């Protein structure tokens, strides 16, 4: 059901906390994942899937969960953040990331867990749950992205440009007019050119375009550090150039595999990165799915109403005992 009431306004993020466990987990093909756990080691486990692809986790993401209740597992996906090798696309596909999540669940001795993800993290959450429904007790998603051509065309084919023509102009600036019919392919050629300075330069344009549209109304963003921008842009462009390594429409096609699971979706009404149509499509006909359409909000996890809704949902699950069968073993 579409939910538009302002019931989430009073929720507050939890205070900053440090992980009680940090480790590195070998995932194969030379990849080593940075993993951390925070909160209550004996509480219901939640795995947090960051966006991008290529974004990495941040301490801010720990603050959505009551640390007295939840066992919060976060990790940097292949090539991201503190995982190594940095910015690598070798053996880096959606199937690899799904296998990594399952490897972490087994390594940490968790029977099943709630999956919490936004944007690309929502894509990966759905793909993981459909591959391993027995490992999941429920889903909490934000800013739904289903990895379809229409969504990529919206953001990289001129749809969002109708609202932000001046920022689209800047995004197009490094690309000759003759190549602008496929901006993902044009950027891919440059981000994987082997010329590190060129890769850094075009990565700056790629990251500014995305970050500049993440909030409902935010100032023109500054550039991220050159190495972060390069890693983020390369990984994201790699996935999008390969259509997220998913069949077209796969996540909707296979939704029946997870329709027995509860799902809560937080979606900004004015999300320019991942427009609400995808969240609406995903929720329709899913008995256990509740769509919270958040007014006066865009895409970013940090937007006040978006953040408040997510905290409120996790607090509600705590109070109700929902997802409480996500017990550890071993």
Active site (catalytic) residues: 119, 271, 299
How are strands ordered across the β-sheet holding 289-294? 2-3, 289-294, 263-268, 136-142, 113-118, 45-49, 71-75, 31-39, 21-28
User: What burial letters (b/e) apply to 104-142, b meaning 16+ CB within 10 Å?
Assistant: bbeebebbbbbbbbbbbbbbbbbbbbbbbeebbbbbbbb
**SS3 assignment, position 86:** coil
DSSP output for 10-74: T--PPPP---SEEEEEEEETTEEEEEEEEE-TTS-EEEEE-STTTT---GGGGGGS-TTT-EEEE
């Amino acid at each position: 059901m579409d939910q538009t009431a302002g019931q989430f306004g009073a929720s507050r993020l939890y205070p900053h906390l440090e992980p009680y466990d940090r480790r590195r987990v070998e995932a194969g093909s030379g990849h080593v994942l940075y993993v951390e756990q925070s909160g209550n080691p004996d509480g219901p486990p939640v795995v947090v899937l960051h966006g991008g692809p290529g974004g990495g986790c941040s301490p801010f993401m720990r603050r959505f969960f009551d640390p007295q209740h939840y066992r919060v597992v976060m990790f940097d996906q292949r090539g991201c953040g503190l995982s190594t090798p940095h910015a690598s696309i070798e053996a880096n596909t959606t199937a690899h990331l799904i296998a990594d999540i399952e490897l972490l669940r087994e390594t940490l001795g968790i029977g099943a867990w709630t999956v919490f993800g936004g944007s690309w993290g929502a894509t990966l959450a759905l793909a993981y749950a459909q591959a391993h429904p027995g490992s999941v007790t429920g889903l909490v998603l934000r800013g739904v992205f289903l990895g379809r051509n229409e969504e990529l065309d919206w953001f990289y084919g001129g749809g969002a440009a109708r609202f932000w023509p001046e920022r689209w102009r800047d995004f197009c600036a490094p690309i000759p007019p003759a190549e602008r019919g496929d901006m993902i392919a044009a950027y891919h050629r440059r981000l994987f050119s082997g010329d590190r300075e060129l890769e850094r330069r075009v990565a700056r344009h790629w990251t500014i375009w995305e970050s500049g549209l993440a909030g409902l109304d935010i100032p023109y963003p500054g550039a991220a550090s050159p190495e972060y921008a390069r890693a983020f842009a390369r990984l994201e462009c790699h996935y999008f150039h390969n259509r997220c390594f998913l069949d077209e429409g796969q996540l909707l096609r296979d939704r029946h595999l997870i329709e027995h699971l509860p799902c809560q979706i937080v979606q900004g009404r004015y999300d320019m990165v991942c427009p609400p149509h995808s969240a609406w499509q995903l929720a329709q006909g899913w008995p256990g799915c509740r769509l919270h359409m958040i007014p006066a909000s865009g895409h970013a996890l940090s937007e006040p109403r978006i953040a408040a809704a997510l905290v409120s949902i996790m607090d509600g699950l705590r109070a109700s005992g929902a997802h409480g069968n996500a017990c550890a073993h071993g």
